[in-house]
């Protein structure tokens, strides 16, 4: 995305934004956005706005290599059923009517970019604290506003969003509640018991636990939201050598695994087992 395209998209999305330092609205001032208190953020020539410039990107474990691997996996269609499920929930509620959606923890932008294509009347914002992820997202065409931002303090105006999408990312329910309209909803995607079980097996005994349960995540969610719809996505698919390497590289499960273990691992198949949950937050702080 070039600067001209970013400026056009930013103008359309500006009412949805708020200064991350003081919460005041932004105005577009040349190649920057500025609030009434003088806090100013430049538009990046590569197609995004960094609204968390204080974040030390050198300490990010979610780096360019991880997002490159994730792009290989996503563009191969492995997560298309998740996208289809999310899109189905949105279509059921909005049809072809306009709505505003923020993809919190968007990474390389697969879901935000795909949903912007499927719902051209929607205003879609992708947020991630990793600049490498946002850079990867902004390289590809799409009518999405890409922001480097802290998900615990998203630079979004209060009660402006219809939907927050949270895919495999820790949620900040109090922050999401603040930016959602009174009838706004959260669509949250979480792992289920067999999610990437082949990777978990390959990386034992370097992981803290042998199995996985989402019971604590669901219990935490149920304290802060009323679940309106919950759909399971489950499939086991074969992998070629490139896809195996990409899956092993892209997952945070590998952060604590020695490089030699990860490089020696080979996967013949992968299991995707997730829950897609549409809910309405109840206002309780997380």
> Is 166 inside a domain boundary?
yes
- Kindly state the DSSP code that residue 17 receives in the 8-state scheme: B
At residue 189, the pLDDT reads 97
Total Cβ atoms within 10 A of residue 109: 26
> What CATH number is given to the structural domain containing 70?
3.40.50.150
- 131: nearest Cα among 189, 200, 51: 51
The tally of domains found in the chain comes to 1
What is the DSSP code string of 197-223? HHHHHHHTTSSS-SS---HHHHHHHHH
What is the pTM for the complete model shown?
0.93
Question: Is the predicted pLDDT of residue 286 greater than 60, yes or no?
Answer: no
- What are 178-193's pLDDT values in tens digits? 999 999 999 999 999 9
> Can you tell me the distance from the alpha carbon of 179 to that of 17, in angstroms, rounded to the nearest whole number?
10
> Is 113 inside a domain boundary?
yes
- What are 31-59's pLDDT values in tens digits? 999 999 999 999 999 999 999 998 888 87
> Is 193 inside a domain boundary?
yes
Task: Say whether 166 sits in a helix, a strand or coil.
Answer: strand
- What are 211-231's pLDDT values in tens digits? 788 889 999 899 999 999 999
> Is 286 inside a domain boundary?
no
Mean local confidence (pLDDT), 85-92: 98
> Is 24 inside a domain boundary?
yes
Question: Is the predicted pLDDT of residue 285 greater than 50, yes or no?
Answer: no
Secondary structure element (H or E) that encloses residue 9, with its range:
helix 3-13
Q: Residue 25: which residues within 8 A CB-CB, separation 6 or more?
A: 14, 15, 17, 18, 19, 35, 36, 157
> Is 267 inside a domain boundary?
yes
Residue 122's alpha-carbon distances to 26, 95, 97, 163, 219, in angstroms, are: 21, 11, 8, 11, 31
Question: Is the predicted pLDDT of residue 16 greater than 60, yes or no?
Answer: yes
Provide the β-strand partners of residue 185: 163
At residue 283, the pLDDT reads 58
Secondary structure element (H or E) that encloses residue 130, with its range:
none
Higher pLDDT, 285 or 278: 278
Assign 276 a pLDDT band (cuts: 50, 70, 90): very high
> Can you tell me the distance from the alpha carbon of 54 to that of 57, in angstroms, rounded to the nearest whole number?
9
> Is 209 inside a domain boundary?
yes
User: What's the token pair of residue 205?
Assistant: 């005994």
Mean local confidence (pLDDT), 196-200: 94
> Is 97 inside a domain boundary?
yes
At residue 205, the pLDDT reads 79
- What are 235-268's pLDDT values in tens digits? 999 999 999 999 999 988 888 888 888 888 999 9
The residue range of the domain holding 135 is 3-281
- What are 121-174's pLDDT values in tens digits? 999 999 999 999 999 999 998 899 999 999 999 999 999 999 999 999 988 999
> Could you tell me whether strands 180-191 and 123-128 are parallel, antiparallel, or unpaired per DSSP bridges?
unpaired
């Amino acid at each position: 995305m070039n600067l001209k395209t970013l400026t056009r998209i930013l103008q359309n999305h500006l009412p949805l934004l708020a200064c991350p330092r003081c919460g005041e609205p932004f105005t577009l001032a040349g190649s920057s956005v500025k609030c009434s208190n003088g806090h100013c953020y430049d538009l990046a020539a590569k197609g995004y706005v960094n609204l968390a410039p204080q974040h030390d990107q050198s300490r990010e474990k979610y780096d360019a290599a991880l997002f490159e691997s994730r792009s290989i996996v996503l563009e191969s269609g492995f997560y298309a059923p998740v996208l289809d499920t999310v899109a189905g929930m949105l279509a059921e509620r909005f049809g072809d009517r306009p709505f505003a959606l923020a993809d919190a923890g968007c990474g390389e932008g697969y879901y935000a970019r795909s949903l912007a294509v499927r719902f051209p009347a929607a205003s879609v914002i992708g947020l991630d604290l990793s600049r490498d992820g946002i850079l990867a997202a902004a390289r590809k065409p799409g009518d999405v506003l890409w922001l480097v931002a802290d998900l615990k303090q998203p630079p979004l105006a209060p009660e402006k969003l219809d939907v927050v999408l949270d895919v495999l990312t820790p949620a900040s329910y109090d922050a999401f509640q603040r930016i959602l309209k009174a009838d706004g909803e959260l669509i949250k995607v979480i792992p289920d018991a067999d999610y990437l079980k082949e990777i978990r097996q390959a990386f034992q005994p370097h992981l803290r636990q042998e199995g996985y349960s989402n019971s604590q995540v669901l219990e935490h969610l149920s304290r802060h939201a009323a679940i309106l719809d919950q759909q399971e996505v489950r499939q086991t698919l074969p992998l070629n050598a490139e896809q195996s390497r990409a899956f092993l590289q892209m997952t945070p499960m590998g952060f604590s695994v020695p490089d030699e273990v990860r490089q020696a691992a080979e996967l013949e198949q992968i299991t995707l087992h997730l829950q897609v949950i549409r809910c309405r937050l109840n206002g309780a702080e997380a």
